[in-house]
Amino acid sequence: MSGASAPVPKIAVKGLEKSFGEKRVLDGVMIDVAAGESLVIIGGSGTGKSVLIKCILGLMRPEAGSIRIDGEESIGIGRTARETLMRRFGMLFQGSALFDSLRVWENVAFGLIQGRGMARQQAHEIALTKLAAVGLGPEIGDLSPSELSGGMQKRVALARAVAAEPEILFFDEPTTGLDPIMADVINRLIVDLVRGLGVTAISITHDMTSARKIADRIAMLHKGGIIWQGATAEIDKTDNPFVDQFVHGRAEGPIEMEVRAA
Amino acid sequence: MIAFLASIGAAFLAFLAAAGRLAMFAGQALGTGLTPPYYPRMILRQIVYVGYFSLPVVGLTALFTGMVLALQSYTGFARFNAEGAIATVVVLSVTRELGPVIAGLMVAGRVGAAMAAEIGTMRVTDQIDALSTLSTDPLRYLVLPRLLAGLLTLPALVFVADIIGVFGGFLVGTYKLNFNPATFLTQTEQYLATMDVVSGLVKAAVFGFIVALMGCYQGYYSQGGAEGVGQATTHAVVSASILILLSDYFLTQAFFT
């Protein structure tokens, strides 16, 4: 925003603060994401990664700070403006969050039918193409989500997140709870989708294999702030002791795990 | 002493805060009904669920309520030779009071609990957040159809329950207590005013709204996994039942004094 030379970041987060009761989860988070970039946020459990993307998505309201999408402030906007903004987002939830009362294809087509008022017939066709894109045949479309395995549910959720062709995608722990092969399938799907659709992506994970595969840039969240960020290749060269400890998964180091709940 | 007073004050403030949250929740949910999009499919599904599928439970309780009412008033009234009033007692009690209250309580147990459990599970598995990210307002899509279904279908349900309840009284009156059927029917009709039935149906609408509102509210704000959903379900039924009985008193006062 400093001049014509610097492009406006797709997402610009500044001074974000969010507390739950006494516990301050986000304490002045600052991060920019350029258009078409895939940012991965790493950090231990309970460091506020999910809270951060829920704030950006507008599902939670931060106490202070600014979140600009394409240069426009998104905190405190009205209901209608929020709904319009939501159309540009897609989100893959950690537990997939499929609607269990609906069939698989209805899940994928949900945003098209309910959100945009598309005819069911047309939405059904699009849903089947999206399912095919994540490697699921049309016969899966008529099943109920509870009949699918965890990996398949994740793929359906992925298809649902991209069905309405959003500009910005959020992935919350996309590979958690999957076997290494299925995790790799999901990683590849994410890379293909992000590159293919040219979308901006923010993922959060503590799976370093996954982070290396899907990230252009990695940022580390610790104690409510971004303590390190850099291109994916730099993560192995950094001398930041926090990052080093996390990447190599050592119990000893500057990050002290809260063994007892605060 | 101060600590004691402070705890009373704190409890009262917490009560006011909860009442305020509930009112805001209801207002916001109803407010979504002022503008499109509407989800007629969801409303219809809830009406069928709340109304049609509650019919067996409500019908059965209404039948036995009418029957026991006839039996009780017979044994009681016989002490002062007032058996002739039984038909009137049954029809007035059922239409004005027992029909709506019993239907409301049964529906609170059946529908309010289910609503809290379903919406609560959707909350703890992120499905409600998923709705928002798919440009669908959860209040509009989940809550409003349930509130409307409660408001609209309970009067219909209670109307049927009234008929079944009075029929239960008639069965006991004629088969067990040997009243003349024609006399019993005449007495049933004799002192019944339109207002008796209408007031019961208005109560039913209020109770239906309360049941759906408590179910949705408790579910919507549930947290903490399976245990949280369990608590939400319990709270939904208990608070709906209490509110039904409280509002019943005030509605009766408003109608008949």
What is the Cα Rg of chain B in Å? 21
Question: Measuring CA to CA, which residue among A136, A138, A140 is closest to residue A155?
Answer: A136
* B39 contact residues in A (CB cutoff 8 A): 114
A3 in any annotated domain: no
Which pLDDT does position A1 carry in this prediction?
45
Which residue in this structure is represented by tokens 């790493």? Answer: A42
Report which DSSP code applies to B110: I
Which pLDDT does position A2 carry in this prediction?
45
A136 in any annotated domain: yes
Instruction: Kindly report the CATH number assigned to the domain that includes residue A79.
Output: 3.40.50.300
pLDDT tens, position by position, B56-67: 999 999 999 999
Residues 6 or more apart from A66 whose CB is under 8 A from it?
A12, A13, A14, A15, A16, A73, A75
Pair A21, A138 in one domain: no
Q: Give the N- to C-terminal CA distance of chain A in Å, as an integer.
A: 39
Question: Measuring CA to CA, which residue among B135, B111, B132, B110 is closest to residue B122?
Answer: B132
How far apart are alpha carbons B238 and B210 in whole angstroms?
12
Strands A168-172 and A89-92, by their bridges, are parallel
H or E element at residue B92? helix B86-93
DSSP string, chain A: --SSSSPPPSEEEEEEEEEETTEEEEEEEEEEE-TT-EEEEE--TTSSHHHHHHHHHTSS--SEEEEEETTEE-TT--HHHHHHHHTTEEEE-TT----TTS-HHHHHHHIIIIIT---HHHHHHHHHHHHHHTT--GGGGGS-GGGS-HHHHHHHHHHHHHTT--SEEEEESTTTTS-HHHHHHHHHHHHHHHHHHT-EEEEEES-HHHHHHH-SEEEEEETTEEEEEEEGGGGGT---HHHHHHHHT-SSSSPPP--S--
Chain B (107-146) residues lying within 8 Å, Cβ to Cβ, of chain A: 122, 125-127, 129-130, 132-137, 141
Which pLDDT does position A5 carry in this prediction?
55
A77: containing domain: 11-88+166-247
* A110 contact residues in B (CB cutoff 8 A): 134, 136
Query: Complex ipTM, two decimals?
Result: 0.87
Residue B197 has pLDDT above 70, yes or no: yes
CB contact (8 A) between residue B135 and residue A117: no
Pair A29, A136 in one domain: no
Pair A145, A199 in one domain: no
Listed range (A52-66, A234-248, B120-134, B143-157) with the worst mean pLDDT: A234-248
Mark out chain A residues that contact chain B at CB-CB < 8 A. Answer: 54, 57-59, 79, 83, 86-87, 89-91, 93-95, 97-100, 110-111, 114-117, 160-161, 164
Question: Mean of the pLDDT values across residues B94-114?
Answer: 95
Strands across the sheet with A38-42, in order?
A89-92, A168-172, A200-205, A38-42, A217-222, A225-231
Pair A106, A231 in one domain: no
Q: Mutating which of A54, A55, A79, A114 best tests the B interface, going by the most B Cβ atoms within 10 A?
A: A114
pLDDT tens, position by position, B69-97: 999 999 899 888 888 899 999 999 999 99
Pair A214, A232 in one domain: yes
* B141 contact residues in A (CB cutoff 8 A): 114
A259 in any annotated domain: no
Which residue in this structure is represented by tokens 């290749």? Answer: A233
Confidence of residue B227 (pLDDT cuts 50, 70, 90): very high
Going from N- to C-terminal start, the domains of chain B cover 39-256
Question: Measuring CA to CA, which residue among B230, B241, B233 is closest to residue B217?
Answer: B233
The minimum CA-CA distance between A60 and chain B, rounded to whole Å, is: 10
Quick one: tokens of A200?
Answer: 């901006």
Which H, E and C letters describe B23-45, residue by residue? HHHHHHHHHHHHCCCCCHHHHHH
* A114 contact residues in B (CB cutoff 8 A): 37, 39, 134-136, 141
What is the domain count for chain A?
2
Name the 3-class secondary structure at B82: coil
DSSP string, A160-224: HHHTT--SEEEEESTTTTS-HHHHHHHHHHHHHHHHHHT-EEEEEES-HHHHHHH-SEEEEEETT
A93 in any annotated domain: no
* A111 contact residues in B (CB cutoff 8 A): 134-136
Which pLDDT does position A193 carry in this prediction?
79
Count contacts between A and B (CB, < 8 Å).
58
Q: What are the average pLDDT values for consecutive 10-residue runs of chain A, which has 262 residues?
A: 65 91 89 91 86 91 92 87 88 92 94 87 94 90 93 92 91 88 88 84 90 92 89 87 86 70 48
Which pLDDT does position A262 carry in this prediction?
45
B39 touches chain A (CB under 8 A): yes
Pair A126, A233 in one domain: no
- Residue where a domain terminates, one of A138, A160, A182: A160
A178 neighbors A186 (Cβ within 8 angstroms):
yes
Quick one: tokens of B14?
Answer: 């917490």
Cis preceding-peptide flag for B37 (omega within 30 of 0): yes
Of B122, B129, B133, the CB nearest to A90: B133
